[in-house]
Each structure stands twice: as C-alpha cells, then as structure tokens.
Amino acid sequence: MNDEPERQYRDDNGGARLGSGPSPVELAEMALVEAELDQRWPETKIEPSLTRIATLMDLLGSPQESYPAIHIAGTNGKTSVTRMIDALLTALHRRTGRITSPHLQLATERISIDNAPISPAKYVEIYRELLPFVEMIDAQSAEEGGPAMSKFEVLTGMAYAAFAEAPVDVAVVETGMGGTWDATNVIDGQVAVITPIGLDHVDYLGPDLASIAGEKAGIIKRAPESLVPRDTVAVIAQQEPEAMEVLLRRAVEVDAAVAREGSEFRVLARRVAIGGQQLELQGLGGVYDEIFLPLHGDHQARNAVLALAAVEAFFGAGAERQLDIEAVRAGFASVTSPGRMERMRSAPTIFIDAAHNPAGARALAATLGEEFDFRKLVGVVAVLGDKDAAGILEALEPVFDEIVVTTNGSPRAMDVDSLANLAVQRFGDERVVTADTLPDALESAIAIAEEVGDPGEAVSGAGVIVTGSVVTAGAARALFGKDPA
C-alpha cells in the first residue's frame, strides 16, 4: 500500500482530482519540454514587440478573448496580489485561471486553474499542441530577420489556450516583466492593477521610476468596443509621485476609471494575529471588517486591500454595492502565498521569503521588526547576479544578527565570494559566514541560531530567514519537502 498522502492535482481536462501526484514518466517528459523551452530567449530578455505572441493568438483563434481578465503589473507584491484576487474570485463562485511568474519550484505553478497548478502531463500536452504553430512563427520571424518566440511568449500562449479549454470564467494574469511589451499584454484586462513600482530590471525597463512606470502603465488600455459598453478600471497602489503621475496620465489617455489606494480604498486597521493578521479594509463598496489574512506584514495588508478593490471593480462594486462580506472573509482566509514569509519549521523557526530587490528586503525587515521578537535571527542569503545585492543587504542588516551567504544553484547566481565581500562591507567580518551550497548554509545558520545559552532556551528564541531571490526561496522550499503550489 502506498503510504504517500493524497494531494490535489489537475486531471487531463483541467479539473481537480485526487491522486498520488505525477509519475516519474510525466516528470521526465516535462523535463524534456523544459529543456526545449530553455533553448529559447530567457525571461530576462525582452524585445519591444508583441507581433509573435499576437500571431500565435490569431492562429489559435484568439483564446484570450473568450474570458474577461484582471491584469496585474508592478514591481513588488504582484504574485501575492494575483493569488489574493484568485482566492476572492473563487470564494465568489467564479472559475479562475491564473498566471504567475517566475515559479518557485516547478513550471506548472505558472498556469493554475481552480487555484491549483495544471499537471505536468497537461503542461506537456498543451506544449505539444502549440508547438507546430510556434515553429511556424519561428520560421516566419527568422525570414524577417527576427528572433524565435521567447520562452515566456510560449508559456503565455500555453496559459491562454489552457484557460479557454477549461473553460474559465475569469483570468487573473500577472505580467512577467514590464507591461507594454510583456507577452501577457495581448489580453485586454477590464481591470488593470498596478502594485508598488520600484527600481528593478533597470537594464530593460528604464533607469528611473517614471520610465519603469511608463512600461507598467501599458496594461491600462482603452476598453474594446462591445455590445455592452464598459470602462477599463485602473486600480493603483500607493506610488512615488513621479510614478503616479505617469500612471494617471496613461489612464486619462485611454479613458480609464481610476481607483487609488489612500483615496478610494485603504487599510483602516490591522493587528497582528496568530498565523497572520486581522484587518479592517475600506473598499470601493464600503468597509469590510473582521478579515483574517494568514500572511505577515503591513505590505501584505496593503496587497490585500489592492486585491479587494480589483475584485470590487471587476464586479462593478461601488458606494451602493458591496461584495458579500462572508465570501470576502472566506477568500482572504484561504489565501496562500508560497515563498512569502512562509514558515518551514519550528525550533528554530525557519521562514523563507522571496525578497529579491531592496524594496522587498525593506518590507521583509519591517515585518520581522514589527511582528516577531527573536532572541537571535540569522539570515541565509543568495542573490542573482543582476540584482542590487548591496541594496538588499543594506535593508536586511538591521534585523539580522549574523548572515550566511551562499548560492542558490542558478547559473545567474552571484558567486559566494562576491556576495560575501558586499556583506562584510555592511555587517563586518565577525557577522558574516560563507557556505558553498544552500543546504550547507542552512546547516550553518541553524547551528549559529542554536549556539547561545541552554539548548532548549536557544531554540525557542532563535530564527532563520532564507531570502534574496525567488530562486533561493524555491530551492529552500524544495529542501524542506514542500510540494509546488
């Protein structure tokens, strides 16, 4: 008898089923597909063109036009907001398709239906079905001197096709990078959500907040003509003034309605609770109280009210129309955001967090300072080479007693020596330890956390935080035996 606990996976038609998980053959087939996709342009490389993905959509019969969508762009909080919107829509009895990126552990996480990743078998099936069309576009682009379809373009096409086949009632779509030229932007979201914008991917999106905001603002589009007229609604988180100016100008240009955090909606109150926080939110349709959110941090409370306003806008909620309060409570209570202050174990307490830029690291540091009282806190940090490692370390220095720097195994990871040099500049020699691999780093961090005083006492007040990259969080999650989600 198989003692492995049953888990939820997708069946071949996109619906949920219970089973013992993907077989080794299915995972091997998926690995082959991933190897093929990895030969294409990576997600860190974009071209200002939607021609190839638009052509693929045309060849497939425009699946992205067969369902309404909520489109999410921004620098920080996108994945959490996307998952919150998905959870709320599900609680309000809508069948959802969700796109998130990047994934933590397995690429199937990027394409979810009914709040669960599609199966590896379904992933392979959709890829094989689209491959002839993709190869046709590759050949046409090559004849014109252009590149083949990128990996992200192919994955986006797969997701939109899967949603149409399911079919879903609404797609919740997180952009990959930017907005205007992001492959997901062949969809017309009736609600465009902009999370806080910061300096990230400056080599691709622009050197300042205004430039980056201009790229993100590209998902705010004029509502297409239809028999039933409707407005596009831009739901915008609090922004720096130079970013907000760009976003509002875009909304005016395309005649979109605007809802802004701090004006039309806001967090009224929050208090720390066991396993998360209790919230009172001012939405577009009124006040929603007694909201339990099983996530930590002020930034997650603000993500929650942003998600709430987006769902209200989708249903046309306003001063005279509020969403069902019990459904909203149930939706938020069901939210998960893997890799975002996610507890892996206790004694010592180990959290993982996917903070990968200075703004994300500052939010993590604020959460640790406000909501936890560790006697000793040790950081395990691995950062990708194209990120602002110095800024991340500067943000984390006040809350970490010691830091173990390592690599997450990605070819893009900053090497240990370079990261250690940056860490020493901020923490000093005596607070920095190096490890060649993430498992070694975890072992060292746990030993450091436990080394003061009586062992029982030491463990109870000690904490370890693994952070620095989405890749780092995903690798740590796998080490602790967590399933992709």
The pLDDT value given to residue 146 = 94
Q: What is the per-residue pLDDT for 199?
A: 77
Mean pLDDT of 406-422: 96
Residue 67 has pLDDT above 90, yes or no: yes
pLDDT tens digit string along 143-164? 999 999 999 999 999 999 999 9
pLDDT at 45: 76
Stronger pLDDT, 60 or 458, i.e. the higher one: 60
% of the chain at pLDDT higher than 90: 84
More confident residue, 14 or 485: 485
Q: What is the mean pLDDT of residues 198-209?
A: 73
At 6 the pLDDT is 35
- Does the pLDDT of residue 1 top 50, yes or no? no
Residue 14 pLDDT level (bands cut at 50, 70, 90): very low
- Terminal-residue alpha carbon distance, the chain: 26
Asked if residue 448 has pLDDT above 60, the reply is yes
* Per-residue model confidence (pLDDT) at position 224: 83
Nearest to 333 by CA among 271, 267, 278, 252: 278
For 323-359, the pLDDT digits (tens) are 999 999 999 999 999 999 999 998 899 999 999 999 9
The confidence score (pLDDT) of residue 318 equals: 77
User: How far, in Å, CA of 366 to CA of 481, rounded?
Assistant: 28
- Cβ(115)–Cβ(87) under 8 Å? yes
Binned at pLDDT 50, 70 and 90, residue 12 comes out as very low
96 pLDDT above the threshold of 60: yes
Is the predicted pLDDT of residue 376 greater than 80, yes or no? Answer: yes
**pLDDT for residue 225:** 78
Task: Report which listed range, 201-215, 295-309, 315-329, is most confident.
Answer: 295-309
In this predicted structure, what is the pLDDT of residue 228? 65
Report whether pLDDT(20) > 70. Answer: no
Q: How do residues 232-255 score in pLDDT, each as one tens digit?
A: 999 999 999 999 999 999 999 999
pLDDT recorded at residue 115? 93
The predicted pLDDT at position 148 comes to 96
Mean pLDDT within 187-193:
97
Work out the average pLDDT over 443-472. Answer: 82
Query: What mean pLDDT do residues 383-399 have?
Result: 96
Pick from 30-44, 125-139, 270-284, 450-464: least confident: 450-464
The pLDDT of residue 13: 41
The per-residue pLDDT for 259 is: 97
- pLDDT value of position 8: 39
Percent of the chain at pLDDT > 70 equals: 92
Residue 319 scores a pLDDT above 50: yes
Can you tell me the mean pLDDT for 169-191? 96
Q: Does the structure show a pLDDT above 70 at 223?
A: yes
